[in-house]
Amino acid sequence: MANLPPCIVAMEACGGANHWYRVFTEMGHTVRLIAPQFVKPFVKSNKNDAADAEAICEPAQRPSMRFVSPKSIEQQDIQSIHRIREQ
């Protein structure tokens, strides 16, 4: 990724997506995080990496798609504290 020219990187929002958002943004890429519920309707076959990549690519190109806002490390820390308190 570091050797590529700046481009759009679309990912399904998950536990590690915020970390990769920060890494790819530092490299100059534009990162779009898509909520899993918006990716699922586009999965056409069994769950594997190729099918997931195709399912993420489709909604990422739609102009009306709503993307997930990334969380900073501090926001993730606060979220973790709240989740621990809820248990």
Position 68 pLDDT exceeds 90: yes
**Which residue, chain included where needed, has tokens 């690519």?**
57
Answer yes or no: is 2 within a domain.
no
The mean of the pLDDT values for the chain is 94
Parent domain of 34: 8-86
pLDDT of 83 reads 94
Helix (H) / strand (E) containing 76 = helix 73-86
User: What predicted TM-score, i.e. pTM, was given to this entire model?
Assistant: 0.84
59: in domain:
yes
Q: What's the pLDDT score for residue 47?
A: 80
Task: Assess contact for 29 and 3: CB atoms under 8 A.
Answer: no
Q: Report how far residue 79's alpha carbon sits from residue 10's, in angstroms, rounded to the nearest whole number.
A: 23
- Encode pLDDT of 1-19 as tens digits: 989 999 999 999 998 999 9
In a domain? residue 54? yes
Is the residue at 1 inside a domain? no
